[in-house]
Structure formats: structure tokens, C-alpha cells
Amino acid sequence: MATMASNRIPPAPVEDPTNKAFFDGCREGKLLIGRCLDTGKPFFYPRGISPFTLSTNVRLEPSKGEGVIYSWSIQRGKDPYCLAYVTLDEGVTMMTNIVDCDLDTIRCGQRVRLVWKPSDGGPPLPMFTPV
Amino acid sequence: MTNAFIVGAFEHPTRKADDKSTAQLHAEVAYGALQDAGLSVDDIDGYLCAGDAPGMGGLSMVEHLNLRKLRYIDTTETGGSSYVIHVGHAAEMIKAGKCNICLITLAGRPRAEGMQTGTAVRSAGSGVPDEPFEIPYGRTIATMHAMVAQRHMYEFGTTSEQLAWVKVAASHHAQYNPHAMLPKVVTVEDVLNSPMIADPLHRLDCCVISDGGGALIVAREEIARQLKRPLVKIRGWGEAIKHQMAGQVDLTWSASVQSGKIAFEMAGCKPSDIKYASIYDSFTISVIIQLEDLGFCEKGQGGKFVADGNLISGVGKLPFNTDGGGLCNNHPANRGGMTKVIEAVRQARGEAHPAVQVKDHSLVLANGKGGSLCTRHGCGTVILEAL
């Protein structure tokens, strides 16, 4: 029996002066990840300092928006939805939702691609759907 | 090794506190632990509590309990594991000569307040930097721990039946506890037939929501030896934190890898020396991860380890949570670390229910995990010796 992902509208993320650049990217349809310019390493969630050196020598870079499901679960109830960790091809893992699919077919290791979904009064949010 | 002993322990009998405030529960468990130890309130010169205590840090509770001789206060907050870590901190401050007798309290009433602990999206407050990247996606305590289970199944072949055995073992113990919320013995089939909450976790893979609390008293050896209770020495302890590591998420292990290693090194013993273990059981998967991380079995073999009653007292090799644990007995204030230590103390004293008391209780362990195994959490391990 198939369980279609609900049309749950997520609440808007709380924006602050530091994370605003990431969510402005979402408004432009760009999924941004952090890059530490001291070490060259990517990081997520994006922040105003490098999580490797704590220096502010960081920048935001667009992700290609492709990756694999690292793990997932479905919150059962009236409007079931899938919480997941997706590992982007750039090498960082982010929390997200898997959408636009039969929830009962979701598996670890599955390839997924980025889709944008509206939030309740905030920027569109990056989610993923099976390729 | 420390020179500190757990001299008092008390678990509140209530499971639904409609008629008591959180501060009242803190006070009642403090009194219970003092009575158990044979001490009085003015003997206390150290106080430890965590985020369940009303007020700024410990200030309001110190006033409410009218503690007037404090030389040490500690409000380390790692969620449900806080109280396990507090035992270690108290032991260290006693060893350093900063204080002599520490009181640790926990209490709360989420059940009376109608809290949806596991299936509602909860915020830790304003300005939390990770939350804008998580809360919109509807992360709940249940789905986050379910993701840990899902990955464990994917990497190691762990099954729902194996997870269920953790609950089955807890229920076998709970039948002897008159205060347990779920005293009925259940089977693997019962667990698998209970409603799916967050794939792959069924309702019976989840701990209960309960009110109540508990308290512990830690004292230096000279004092412990003057009291009339069985001697329970804090032989080793450790604490550690794990998080998402800036996007390098790995759900196959917990901070218990480090907290356990530190505790075993301090105690000078190994997992096979432990005769009883209290293991934080917010969910069945939590227990499997911690057992592996503490070294009771190889990584990935936790499912096989817990199967076929291996955690049942008198049946298996490692009796665990003989009070019924969070899965069947209680989970006061959504924080199970305190009751993990309390049952370990009962076992070390030889005062657990006769049907579940381990015969050789010379070395016991209590392990706590607080926060989310999926995102960020703190673990505390204590190893206790019965002298």
C-alpha cells in the first residue's frame, strides 16, 4: 500500500543576521553550503565561522543539489512525512524531507535530487525527491 | 578511582503528579534521598541540578530547599544524561576537597501537563543556531531516533525483532515493580504489532511519558563509612558530547564510545567485569547503540546481543534496567539518567526486587544519553563498586 507524502507546509525558519545569506540563497533557488577557506573543507549547516578553525575565512557555495539518502524515517499520523539526512555529492550531510514520492519506497543509499517547497511565510526550503 | 560514594538514592513513586508542582517534586525527592542516607538538609554543601529545575540555573531550587551551606553548585545540562554526569562532577569536587556531601535532584511533570514528548516538534529556545536548519523539516524525538535505527538496520542488518527484545526484557523486569507504568510482560510479536510511530520504531519501541523524579546523595568516603547504608563506591565515570560534526553525520555510534572508555579506564575494569547495567532506554535502538559503544559487544552486533532474552535478569548474560527502565517503569521529566543511576545503586546494594536482583553485584554500571542520538547529545557513564 502506497503512502504518498503529504502536502505539509513547513513552518518558516527563524532567520537571523548570520543565517540570512543562506535563506536569501533559498529565495533565489540556490542551495548553499559552507566552505572553509583555511582548510578547503565543506561544512553544513552554514555558519559565519569555520567549524574547523573558528576563523571567519568562509564563503557560501552553491551545491549541485544531488546526493544520496543517508537515513530516513516517516512520522506516522494524519499527515505522514519523511524526515531524512541526505549526503550531498559535495560531501556534507543535511537534514531535510523526502517529498513527491511513495514514502513506502524510500531506502538508505537511494539517489535523490533537490526540489524547492514553500514554507509558511518564509523562503522556499530545500527538499529532495528520488531520482 | 574516586573517594566518593553514593550514600542516598530515592525515586519518587508518582507517575502522574496532578497535585504537585515541579518544585515540590524536587523537594520531596531531596528529602527521600536524605532519609535514605540518614543525613539532614544542613549536611549538604554541594547541589547539582539540570534544565528540569525551575528558575535560573539552580538558584531558585537552592532557595526553595533552603540550602545555606553550599560551597559548590553545578547546573551542567545535557538533557537526560545530566544526572549521570552530575555524579561524576560531585565525585571530582569531593576528591578536590571542595565539598563533602552533594545533593542531585531531578523532577518534572510532562504527563500532567499533557506534553507530546516524542511526536511533537520541540524548540530548545530562541537563537539556537542549528534549529532553522532542522525545525522546518519536522524533526521529532521519535523520527530522529528512528533514523538511527534505520541506519543501523541498513549497515548491520539489525531487525525489528531484535529491537523488540529490548522491550521484552524490560517488561519482564517491570512485572515485579509495583510502580511501573507498564507492568505487563510483552512478546516480540506484541511490539511488532503495536502501531508504527516513526519507521522502523513501533509504539512499544518508545519509552513512556511520566511524571516524578529522583535524587542522589554523593559523599566522601569518611562520611559514607559512618552511615548505615551499604557502601557503593564511584569507581569510575566519564562524560562526552557528540554532534553532527559540521555535516559529517555518522549515526552508528554515540558519545558513549568516549564516556565509557574514560569510565572503564578510571575504574580499572572492563565490560565483561560488569554484572548489571542500567542503559538509557528512550527507545529500544538507544540501548543497542550504547551496549555496542560501551564494549559489551562488537559494533553492529547489538541486535544479536540483545536477542533471546540476553538482557533479562536470571536468563541472559547482561541483566539491564531491572526496574523496567524508561520503556516500562518511568521516564520522569523526559529524562531517564537519574533513574538509571538509582536502579544501579539498588543493584549494588543488593536491594533490587529479589526476582531481578543479580547475585554478584560487585560491579555495576549506569549509562545515560541526553539530547538526540541523531543530532547532538551528551553521554555519561558511571561504574559503581559494592564494598
Helix axes B141-156, B284-294, angle to 10 degrees: 50
Closest chain A residue by Cα to residue B123: A14
Rounded distance, CA B32 to CA B216, Å?
9
Round to whole Å and give the CA distance between B61 and B53.
7
**Max intra-chain CA distance, chain A:** 51
All 3 cell numbers of residue B4? 566518593
Contact (CB<8Å) B198/A73? yes
β-pair partners for B6: B218
- Contact call for A92 and B248, based on CB within 8 A: yes
- What is the bridge-based pairing of β-strands B276-279 and B363-371? parallel
Backbone angles phi, psi at A71, to 5 degrees: -160, 170
DSSP assignment of B239-280: EEEE--GGG---TT--THHHHHHHHHHHHT--GGG-SEEEE-
Cβ pair A96:B137 closer than 8 A: yes
| Residue B63: strand, helix, or coil | helix
Cell of B235: 569507581
pLDDT in tens, B76-124: 999 999 999 999 999 999 999 999 999 999 999 999 999 887 788 888 8
Is B186 within 8 Å of B204 (Cβ atoms)? yes
Distance in Å, alpha carbon of B263 to nearest chain A alpha carbon: 28
Do B23 and B221 touch, CB atoms closer than 8 A? no
pTM above 0.95? Answer: yes
Does the beta-carbon distance from B247 to A77 stay under 8 Å? no
Taking only the tens place, the pLDDT of each residue in A23-49 is 999 999 999 999 999 999 999 999 999
Closest chain A CA to residue B152: A71
Enclosing H/E stretch for B229: none
Question: Each residue of B218-274: pLDDT tens digit?
Answer: 999 999 999 999 999 999 999 999 999 999 999 999 999 999 999 999 999 999 999
| Domain boundaries defined on chain A | 20-130
Of A8, A18, A72, which is closest to B138 when you measure between CB atoms?
A8
- Strand duo B4-11 + B212-220: pairing: antiparallel
SS3 per residue for B125-163: CCCCCCHHHCHHHCCCHHHHHHHHHHHHHHHHCCCHHHH
Give the pLDDT confidence of B311-323 residue by residue, as tens digits.
999 999 999 999 9
What is the least distance, in Å, from the CA of B250 to any CA of chain A?
Answer: 9
Q: Looking at domain A20-130, which CATH architecture does it have?
A: Beta Barrel (2.40)
Q: Are A85 and B199 a contacting pair at CB < 8 A? A: no
CA dihedral B189, B195, B196, B197 (to 10 degrees): -130
In whole angstroms, give the CA distance from residue B160 to residue B241: 28
Torsion, CA B136, CA B141, CA B146, CA B147, rounded to 10: 50
**Angle, alpha carbons B157-B159-B164 (nearest 5°):** 150
Any idea what DSSP says for residue B8?
A: E
What pLDDT is recorded for position B154?
A: 98
B132, B148, B196 ranked by CB distance to A76: nearest: B196
Q: What is the pLDDT of residues A55-93, one digit of tens each?
A: 999 999 999 999 999 999 999 988 999 999 999 999 999
Quick one: pLDDT at residue A1? 61
Percent of chain B with pLDDT over 90: 96
Residues of chain A positioned with their CB less than 8 A from the CB of B247? 33, 42-45, 91-94
SS3 B107: strand
Q: What percent of chain A has pLDDT over 90?
A: 92
Interface test with A, best of B121, B134, B137 (most A CBs within 10 A): B137
Contacts with B297 (C-beta within 8 Å, 6 or more apart), sequence order: B291, B304, B305
Three-class SS state of B69:
coil
Q: What contacts B145, CB < 8 A, 6 or more positions away?
A: B198, B201, B282, B283, B285, B286, B372, B373, B374
**What's the gap in Å between the CA of B245 and the closest CA on chain A?**
8
The pLDDT value recorded for residue A5 is 74
State how beta strands A58-62 and A32-36 pair: antiparallel
Angle at B110 between CA B140 and CA B351, to 5 degrees: 105
Average the pLDDT over B343-371 and give the result: 98
Hunting for cell 517488561 — which residue is that? B171
b or e along B301-338 (b: 16 or more beta carbons within 10 Å of the residue's beta carbon)? ebbbbbbeebbbbeebebbbbbbbbbbbbbbbbbbbbb
Mutate to test the interface with B, among A6, A15, A41, A73 (most CBs of B within 10 A): A73
For range B200-216, the mean pLDDT: 98
What pLDDT, on a 0 to 100 scale, did the predictor assign at position B65?
98
Mean pLDDT over B278-296 rounds to 98
Which of B244, B372, B374 to probe by mutation at the A interface, max A CB count within 10 Å? B244
Compute the Cα dihedral for B207, B168, B87, B25 and give only its sign: positive
